[in-house]
Structure formats: structure tokens, C-alpha cells
Chain A
Amino acid sequence: MQKNKKLLIAGVGGQGIVYLTNIIAEAALISEIDVSISEIHGLSQRGGIVTAGIGFGKNCTGFIKNAGVDFLIGLEPLETQRCLQYLHKKSCVVFGNYRIMPYSVNAQMAEYPDVLKFSEYLKKNCKKVYFIEKFPETIEAVNYNIYLLGIATLQPDFPLKAEKIEIAIKNLIEGKRKEKTLDIFRMSIDNFVEKSKSI
């Protein structure tokens, strides 16, 4: 039996985190893996922080503890950085550079952290880090979540296989968006499958 794994998704309200967890839950069901998801969305509609913890395996909750996350998908760099304490040395991090300025930064009360420096630090300290400095221009910001999920599935120990996620997308999404979502998911895998082999 596969070892229990924990995945954390972090971002800002409106980035489609709950949407992503729906797909993951469906894929886990299809894969017959026990899954438990814990979402915290404090006022998510109003630009607050949203995180979702996902536990795969028996007796594995979606609750997250320090150094307890095996995979982190970061939809926003600052919120990715805020989850640092949950990572451990063998964690895999997939995060994008789509920045959403919090009010404190706009009002000059605080500085947005140096994302490149953070990315370098992560690369030195974690097993595997994908930092998407620039998303392909054809992808709209609302679909970055699917793109990052695609990259995560390339990890051999990621609990969900890409083909199961494809089935989940087909089951859950209707109409034109189904094909579009599948395209983005596949594009992400195509873009990174070679790279991940060569590394």
C-alpha cells in the first residue's frame, strides 16, 4: 500500500482553490484512495487567504502540521512563502509567479518579498521545486491552478495519476470548459515532462 501523503494548496480567494480540490477529490475517488480535505477560506470572496490541506491514505486527515506537507501547490508566491513552515526537506513545491498585491504592500506599509530569492532558497532546501516565472500567455489567470496541478502529477510519488485527473475533469466539468481545462492540463504535462526526465 502506498504511504500516506499530504498536499497543501495555497492562494488567494478567487484563484480556484476549491475548484481544484473538487477535481482532486474526484480523482482520488476514482483511484480508490482515501482522501480527506480541509479547507479554510476566511472571507475568500474578499481577497483573503485560502488554503486547502489534502490527506491521501488511511487515517490521514486534511489537517496540516509543520514539516508535514509532501506537496505544495502555490497559486500565489507570497501565500506560497507563508506556508514555508509546513514543508520538509523532501517536499515538492510547484508554484507560480502570479502576484496578487495585498493591501499592506499597495499602501507601502510592507514590502512584497523577493520571489526570485525565495525560489532560489526553496530550490536549495527542498527535494523538488518548480517555479513558473511566467505562465504561457495563452492561459488565463483563472486556469493557472490546472496548469500547476499538471506539473505536480509528474512527480512519481504524487498520489494521483494524470489519467485519473483527466477522468475527474471529464466527470466534473461540462461544456466548452471541459475541453479547455483538459487542454491546459495536458499542455502543462507536455511542457514539463521532458524537463523532468532530463533533471
Chain B
Amino acid sequence: MLNRTINIISSYPNQLKTCVMGNEAIVRAAVEAGVNGVFSYPGTPSTEISEIFDHIYNFQHKAEYQMQYPEITTNKIYFEYSINEKIAMEKAIAYSIGNKSAMCVMKNVGMNVASDPLMSVTYQTIGGPLVVIVCDDPGCHSSSNEQDSRYWGPMANVPVFNPSTPSEAYKMVKQAFELSELIKLPVIVRTTTRVSHTRSTVHYGEINEKNRNANFERLPEHINIPARTATAHTRLLNKLNSDVINKLFRKNIVEHFNCKTAKIAIVTSGVATSYAQEIISDLKLENDVCLFEIGLIFPFPEKEIVEILKDKFTKLLILEELDPFIENQLRNIIQKNNLKINVKGKGFSTILPTGEFSLEIISKAIIEFAEIKSHENENLPIENYNDFLNQLPPRPPALCSGCPHRATFYLLKLAIPREQSELIMCGDIGCFGLGALPPLKMMDTINHMGMSISMAQGLYESFHDSDKDKKVVALLGDGTFFHSGLTSLVNAVYTRANILVIIFDNRTIGMTGQQDNPGSSHIPKYKEIDIPPVLKGLGIEVVEVINPYNIRESYEKVEKAINHKGVSVIVSKAPCIYLPEFKVGVNTKRVIKVDPEKCNTCANHDDVSITCSRCYTPKNNLSRAKSKIMAKNHIQGEAQLCPANICNHGFFNSILEGSYKEAVEIVRDKMLFARTCGDVCHRPCELFSEKNNFIPIKLLKKSVSAIDDNFYDFTEPIKRAKNAQSKNKCVAIIGAGPAGLSAAYDLVQQGYKISIFEKDNKVGGMITSAIPSFRMDKKGFEYEAMQLEKMGVEFIFNTKIGVDISFENIAENFDSTIISTGLPIAKKLDLVEDFIPERNRLSNLDFLKNFNEGTCQLKPNSSILVIGGGNSAIDAARAAKKLDPQNKVVITCIETEKNMPAFAEEINHAILEGIEIINCSYVNNIEKLSNDRLKISLFNFDNKDKFNQDFICDYVITAIGQIGDSTVDFGTSIKVDENGKIINNNTKTKIKNVFVAGDICQGNNMSLIGAIASGKKAAVEVRKLLENYTFDYEGNLALKRLNNTNIPEFRTNNEIVGIDKTQLENYDLFQSCQKCNHCIDNFGCPAMVKVNGKVQIDLTRCTLCGLCIDVCPNNAISWVTEIENESSKQILI
């Protein structure tokens, strides 16, 4: 850069041949013309002009270079990035009035902002020369329109040069300075992208060292008042007709190729000339077509053109990009002078007033115009290339990795969920406009520079006083804020608009390559203006400055600003990654890594073929990511595992997103009983978590399955069973309790033919008979269970093993058999059996069965003693109370209150219903009284005071546990223990194809969820035997934990009642999930690359901002202090 700067301000008496970009040639020409001051606002394609002058300024002001290069640092060229184009133009005009040579630089749309001063100064006068460089952008490579700036010539009555190459630009800028000085008018040099950004040969010459002294002349022209306008207008038009201009006309009509014989001609202006030259040369038409290029296009060289065309040409083709500017003037002249020439222009061949030209367009037009029949093209396109061009992935630009704008947008994504919110987001011009594109998509409008705040206040006013009255959000960058946002903000405050303005303050004008703006000056030349005091000075009440990388802290400030009524402003302040200050504080000794084990991996399954109804959407993952940032309680998925292997993580997050049906489906991926488990599950998933910090899965299950539309829709599981590929294997299941039904559910979905043998006439086993109807929805259970029939399971009811069919018969005829007959016999207490007549004593099972069937016949107003401390004892006691509220019901159990195996909430219900519980007691003596009553003597061994207590009652119900039915004959190979439970090894029995599940399976926890899990586990064992399935049961960890736990440890009083979403939002249940991709879908840092389904950080692109660590909902991304392997820096796929 240093060499180039020295190059460009050195004088070359013997010429220097160089190859430079059009913009650099313009700078050089201005330097040679002796420019004193340059005023600009950056904008592509003009930016490089300003940048080079900025370099020159910095070079000439550095003491070191002043010593070293006195000859090129003495005549200093002033340069400034003005805050907008209007100010640049005004200041350039004034600078010229001060007798200095001035230049003003901008892009096409900048001229609109600058037009106000230009339109009037022409009626007045300038002092030194003033050249305005305007760069148009046909094809809109980087602009919001493709306006044709040549019109400013006739509009403002200023001369316009239109160069076609860098070397022409160089010549014309020099002419422009001369012309401006002579006629005291600003002169425009208009380029297009393809001129500004083309490099070709330019010859640098000598620098005009003319010294200009600052001077202000008190001229009447400096005062513009209406009385002088008419004469001023005439004087202006006379300037355009001056001899100086007429002399320049000749010079600026260039005839290329010099052909003498042609009858047809092409007239061009701007870059179209270069296209035409190449095509004429390619087609070897040099002697058949004349090519005239017009350089000074306003005022138009009428006389000269007529001279050239008259009596020589019959046909003209006019080639110019965008509007028919020359064409219209030419047609006018031809008509006025009565020339017989056929003119072809816009609309001829493929010549359009829109977009850029290309060699194809010009080639086609010239071939048609010259009426060439055939032409040989030696270059043949390669075959079938379209096959390889189709469906290539697009590569839209994206915010840089580490960009603070992405951080702000991500924060806004969390704070302002776009799907649920009607908030309108009004964007603006700048890098951060990329936030309108995926994956951020955080803008609804982008207009021209500075429009965002006006858009927001205007929209607010549209909705104001309607029922949709709401806050509107404006987003703009710091450069744009000073460019034209500030005036609009004053208007918003003044008119009491209700808007939130977010200033993306990346401390630079990023889009055009990091130029200074008033909010962030990096050199002493400019004074920095701190934005927040400006805002506060305007009387804005809520002004929050946030660090967008600190999402947690910033979130609340954003919420506060959104909720404020009136104008609120957030200044999101963090430097652009290209500024040196970005790197301050970045620890370069560490890097960021993604743990592939946690990224896009299912934590619940090794066997990923297992059904997962969790719906993958970027939005769903966004809500997980939000809990990571916002929730107060972070619970790792492993803490809330389900023995039935239900994905509680997916289940909970579906509820957080409001997808209740999905939540039910996630339960049904693994088992039938969503509603039943919601009623009576032991909820081991909740009770193993630390400090009672858990998500109330059971309650949520109850709530979501209580929605009938969701509950009764079993389409998906039925579809899965029907669509399963048949394994051609038959499995018998003995006993239609929860264990057997669960095994059947899993196996039928794998394509097995299932037959369930049941001794009763209905499904359910213990669930149906022993749990009282007030604790669970019996019909719901039956509905859930009987879906199996629809899934293709065969039920054989009223069939008892050993009576109706032999076990051997089943085991031999089926490929595999699962025994799940349960423990249907109540344990007996000898004291009760021996001393109480049969009519006064009941087992809990008999009593509850009668209760459920409505066949209980207890005396009214009776006293009942229940023996036992488990759930079944409480069930029996509560059932007894429900039979007749006048009944006196007492429970005796040997456990302390704390150690009772029953659920705390059940005990609480019992106490509330008036049931007395006598803990630490047992029946000591029983005495039969004459009036068919019993006197029970209870010994209370509570440590504090031991005593005997007598209790007169009518009935005693024993609830001290169950055992297997010893009358069922499983043959000699199946061994049972003293409680009738079958001895097994991981559900396997001594017979290879016979498995055991549920309560009868020795070692299994007696609970609904224990039964379901063991049924599922047996199903896995069956699959391993019959189809070479290799995975172990995936709920095993939670099942083992359940089995190895003493029931009393489950006890807790901690329960959340009812689903309160705001309360749930305090929770984050996180685990890695295969359906994630959140960082790519919602964040989209270019340093994140996906390789084989896993995200990796491309360390060659990573800027170590570290935000992705907070973004990952799975905690898969973290700092690594040492670069383990240098070669791992680069990801090669």
C-alpha cells in the first residue's frame, strides 16, 4: 500500500506506464489536476477512490514520511469521510468557493442525497474547480437501484463526462477539472462498476503544482434570492454553450478502428464501447462498421455529430447501458436536421434499458445490426455442461464469523421469536442487512439509507389507534445512524412514536471496508461522538447499551426496551472483526472445539432406527437454545431417564414449544400408556434428580394426554405396525398386564405376529383390578391397551395356562414366549387368618376388585382397619372411605411416616379424606366381640412413647404384598422363588426361547413403569434371539436404577401442580439430540462446517469470539486450551 501511495502522488515528467483500476486512475487524474480537497461518503463501486485519498492523507500527515519524502508531502490533499453525501457536496462547494480545487465522491444513490445543493449552486457560482465523481451500478452488484446518473447533467445543468475505460477516466477527470475552473460550474464524471473496477493500462504524467491561496470573494452570486433567479438561469445556460465546451466536444468523440468505407455506424458511450471494440475485432468487422464513442455526453455535441453522420451513414446502432440517454438526444438531432438515418437503440435485438451489458448481448446485437449471415466461432462449448451447472448450491454472502451483528441478531432471535411475534422489524442499508437472509431472517423491510427509523415510526402511526397498536422495531448501523438516521430519530421523539431502535454499533462503516464514522473515530483527525449521550440529550428515556456477545445479560435489557412505551434505543456495541480492537482480549492460546459425541447425536439411543416422533425444525431447536440461556434450572437429560426409555428431553421440549400432540407421540414411540402413566406412574424419572430439582414429567404426561383429540388419535403407532415388514415369527405372551402388553406393542411394530393369552375376560391384570377407579382413567387404559388389536395383536381371553392350554404346548408352537402373568395372589397374615372370621376380613386385592366392579357389601357406617403402608394399602383405605364417607378408616403400618412406600401425595389425599394413619405400629392381638365386631390391639413402638392402643372395628383389610399363582404350571424347567417369582437372568429363563417380564420376573420392581420396562426388555431379548438384533435394551440404565432402589427412597413432597408455561420456561432439560443442527439453522457462523453430520469449527475461519459455546443447546462446544494437532486446523473433507 505504501508503494502504491507514493506512486500515486509522485510526478512523472517522462510518463509512467501502469496497470490500475478505474478508481485509482480517477485519483491519479485528480492529483495531477492539482486537487486540494476531497469530500466523500463511501459506497460501492466508488469506495476505492475515497480509500486511496484517505491513505494519501494519512501518508502526507505522518511526520516520518514528511521527513523522508518532502517533495510529495508538502502539498497536502485534504480528505474527509463526511457524514453523508449532502454534507460532502455542500462542503466541497464551500471549499471551492474558498478558491480551492475540490472533488466530491459518491455512488449512484448518494447523488440523490447530494442533489439539493447541486441543483442550486449552478445558479450561483463556485471558486476553484469542483468535480463530482458518481459511480453507477448497472446490474446492481451492490446497490439498491440501477438509476442512471447521467440525467443529473440536464437536470442540474452541469457537464457530464462518461468514460469507458480506466485510461479514459483518467483523461476525462483531468478535463473535468479544467472545464470546471473555466466555466465556474461543477462537472460530473460518471462511471459504472465495470469502469471503476476494471484494471488496464494508464500512463501517469506530471502533477500540476499550481498553488491556490484560500480566498473568499464577496460576490452577489453567493446570495441566492428569488429576484436574481431568472438572470441566473440564463447565465447558467450560456455557460453550457461556451467555447470551452465546444472545443472539448471534438476531443471527446473518438472514432475507433478508423474505417473509411463503412455505411453503418455504432455510437457508444461508457463501457459499451469496450464490449463493441472486442466484438467488432472478434468478428473482423473493422472495415464494415464505424465505431464512435462519445465521452462528453452533456451538453450533447450536436453540431459535431451532424457533421460526422451527414451523408455518410444510413444506419446507426446506439449502445449504452441503462437508459436511452444518448439515443434520445441523437434521435432528436437526426429529426431536427432531417437526416435520413435509421436508428437502432433500446429494444433492438437484446438491447434493454435494464441490467449490465455482456459480450453475448453486444455480439448478438452487432451481428444482427451488421446483418452478418454466419460467423465462425472457433470455441465450442463443452458438451452437456448444463448437467453440471444445474442445482449447484448457491453461495450467498453471509456475515463474517465472529461478526457482532450475528451476535445481536441471535440475541434478538431469542428475545423476539419471529414466528409468534407480530413485531415488524425495519432494516436498513449496511452489512447487517445480511440479517434479512437465512439463517437469521430478522428483517421485514430494507429501503434506502436511513429509512429504517422513518419506516418504523410511519408504520407505528398506521397502526396507531387501531386494535393492532404496537411497537415497531428499527434496525440500523452506527454509520447509517449518523448518515441520516439521527434526523429521523429526532422526528420520532418529537412525534411521540412508539418504536424500538436498535443501533448495530460495530464502530465502523463495515460494508464498504471499515471507514470511520462520527461514532467511532480511530484517528485524531476526527473527534469521536459517543452515541448514548446524544440519545439521552434527545430526551429518550430508555437507552440501553449492550454487549451482544453476553446474551444472558443483554436479554433482559432488550425485553425492557421492547416493553417500554415510547421511543427506546438499544446500542449493541461491539467492534467489527476487521478492527484491531476486536482482537483485544482474545486469548489466542485456546481454540474452540465441538465434541462429536454430543453434536447431532441421540443421547437416548444407539439404535437410531427406533422411532422418534420429535419433529426437527429450526424453530423447535431455537426454543431449546433459549432455555439454555434463559432458564434458571439446567437439568441434564440423564438425570430424568425413564425406565421405558421414553425420550423425556424430546417430550419436555415439545411441551415447551406448545406441541402437545408431538409430546404424546414421543411417549407412544416407546409405550402405550401415556394417560395411565400420567395417573399412576411411580415417576422414577423425577425422583432420582438432585435436590428435588426436576421437571414434573408425570404431571406433564397427565396434562398432555388429557387432551382427548390427541389421546384418542392412535394413527401413527397403528400405521407403524401395519407398515412393519413381517418377520414371519410368532411370539406368545402369557398375561395381558402392562408388561405383556408393552412387549406386544414393541414386537408388533417390528413385524412379529403376537398372541396374548389371558386368564380373565379382559386386559389389564393388576392395573384393572387393584388400582381404584378414582386414581386412574380405567376406560382410557382399556382404550390404550386395545389399540394393540388394531395393530394386529391377537388376544385369547379366558384361557388359563395348565387348565385350558398347557405351557409346553405354547412354548413348542411359538418361536418365542414371554411369561408375564404377574403376582395375582395377596399375601396373608396368619394372625388375621386365624382370629378373624372370613366375613370380617378381606385381602386388598379382593376388596379393590369388588370396589372396582361395584360389588362391595360392607355394613354402612362401619369401622375398617387397613394393614400395610404401600400404595395398595392407601388405595384400599381411600376406597373404603369412598364407599361410605361415614366409615371410620384407620391404617396401621410398621413404617414411620417418612418411610412409607406409598406416594406422598396419596398419603396426603388419604389424610385429607379423614383417614387416620398409625405409623410404627403392628397388630398385637385380636379379640372377637359379641356384636360381630373386632377389638384390635395395636402396639405402637414409636420411639417417644411406646403403648398399646385398642381399636374396635368391623373389618380388617390386609395389604402386605402379593405373590405368584402357584397353581399355574410352567413345567419343571421354569424355577420360582418363595413368592412365586420366576428366577431369571436378565429376563431369560432356562428355556432358550422363553422370557419373563413384569411382577413375576424376579428382581423387577413392582410398579407400572417397572412392568412396562421389563416387558420392553423381554421384547428386546426376543428380537436378539429371533432376528440377530444386537442392541441391548436401551432403557436398562434407568430400569436397573429402579430395580436396585428401596421404594421408600422415592418419597418426596415436592410436586408442581398444573402446567404453567412460564414456570416451565425456568427449566432447561438438555441432552444431545440427533435432530439438532441448531447452530447451523439459527446461527450460521461461516466457521461452522458440517462434516458427516457433525458440526466442526474451521479454525482457519474462526475468530475465537466464543459465542457458539453459548449457542449450542447440547453443551457440545467448548474451549480447548492447546491446539492438539496442527494439521487439525484445516478441515479437509
Contacts and interface: CB of A to CB of B under 8 A. Distances in A.
Contact of A82 (B141, B386, B392, B431): B392
Contact of B274 (A21, A63, A110): A63
A141 B199 contact: no
A58 interface: yes
Interface in B880-923: none
Nearest to B1084: A103
B197 A39 contact: yes
B394 A104 contact: yes
B665 to A, nearest CB: 23
Interface in B1-46: 3, 17-19
B1098 to A, nearest CB: 9
Contact of B1086 (A25, A47, A108, A110): A47
B537 interface: no
Given A82-B392, A99-B1133, A113-B388, A89 B274 contact: no
Interface string A83-122: 0110111110000011101111111111111000010010
Contact of A42 (B141, B200, B1089): B141
Contacts of B389: 81-82, 84-85
A78 B256 CA distance: 40
Given A61-B278, A106-B1089, A84 B395 contact: no
Contact of A67 (B377, B386, B1133): B377
Given A47-B1086, A68-B379, A42 B142 contact: yes
Contacts of B363: 65
A125 interface: yes
Contact of A66 (B18, B280, B381, B1077): B381
Contact of A37 (B198, B391, B398, B1080): B198
Contacts of A88: 379-382
A35 B385 CA distance: 29
A106 B359 CA distance: 35
Contacts of A66: 360, 381
Contacts of A113: 388, 392-393
Contacts of A49: 395
B388 A38 contact: no
B382 A106 contact: no
A17 to B, nearest CB: 13
B394 A85 contact: no
Nearest to B439: A107
A46 B399 contact: yes
A78 B358 CA distance: 23
Contacts of B388: 81, 84, 113, 118, 121
B539 interface: no
A29 B19 contact: yes
Interface residues of A, number: 68
A163 to B, nearest CB: 19
A39 B513 CA distance: 17
Given A29-B19, A59-B277, A89-B380, A36 B393 contact: no
B1065 interface: no
A74 B1012 CA distance: 60
Given A29-B201, A38-B198, A65-B358, A106 B394 contact: no
Contacts of B400: 45-47
Contacts of B397: 13, 42-43, 46-48
Interface string A13-52: 1000000010001101100001111111011011111000
A126 interface: yes
Interface in A133-156: 134, 137, 141
A38 B193 CA distance: 9
B48 to A, nearest CB: 11
Nearest to A126: B382
Contacts of B165: 36
Nearest to B385: A84
Contact of A87 (B381, B398, B1077, B1088): B381
B281 A58 contact: yes
A145 B809 CA distance: 78
B541 interface: no
A60 interface: yes
A9 interface: no
A39 B281 CA distance: 23
A63 B393 contact: no
A182 interface: no
Interface in B1093-1133: 1100, 1127, 1130, 1132-1133
Contacts of A47: 395, 397-398, 400, 1086
Contact of B200 (A35, A79, A105, A112): A35
Contacts of B379: 67-68, 88-90
Nearest to B166: A36
A85 B197 contact: no
A137 B200 CA distance: 36
B228 interface: no
A194 B1127 CA distance: 29
Interface string A151-181: 0000000000000000000000010000000
Contact of B393 (A40, A98, A102): A102
A46 B431 contact: yes
Contact of A21 (B199, B382, B1100): B199
A185 B439 CA distance: 39
A100 B1084 CA distance: 14
A81 B392 contact: yes
B473 interface: no
A89 B382 contact: yes
Given A48-B397, A103-B398, A113-B388, A67 B142 contact: no
Interface in B372-408: 377, 379-383, 385-386, 388-389, 391-400
A151 to B, nearest CB: 19
Contacts of A137: 1127
Contacts of B1132: 97-98, 134
B5 to A, nearest CB: 13
A84 B90 CA distance: 49
Determine which residue in A61, A67, A121 has the highest number of CB atoms from chain B within 10 A of its CB, and name it: A61
A55 B277 CA distance: 13
Interface string B186-223: 00000001100111110000000000000000000000
A63 B1080 CA distance: 36
A38 B194 contact: yes
B429 interface: no
Contacts of A134: 1132
A98 B388 CA distance: 19
A38 to B, nearest CB: 5
B382 A125 contact: yes
Contact of A46 (B382, B398, B438, B1127): B398
A3 to B, nearest CB: 10
Contacts of B386: 85
A107 B395 contact: no
A12 interface: yes
B946 to A, nearest CB: 72
B275 interface: yes
B965 interface: no
A35 B201 contact: yes
A7 B777 CA distance: 78
Contacts of B274: 36, 61, 63
Contacts of A87: 381-382, 385
A153 to B, nearest CB: 18
Contacts of B1127: 137
B200 A36 contact: yes
A85 B381 contact: yes
Contact of B434 (A28, A46, A101): A46
A84 B388 CA distance: 8
13 contacts: A25-B19, A35-B200, A43-B434, A48-B396, A48-B397, A68-B359, A78-B392, A79-B395, A87-B385, A103-B438, A103-B1084, A106-B1088, A108-B1090
User: Which 6 pairs, one residue from A and one from B, show the smallest C-beta to C-beta distance?
Assistant: A110-B393, A65-B359, A43-B397, A48-B397, A88-B379, A102-B395
Given A45-B400, A110-B392, 4 more contacts: A42-B397, A47-B397, A66-B381, A67-B381
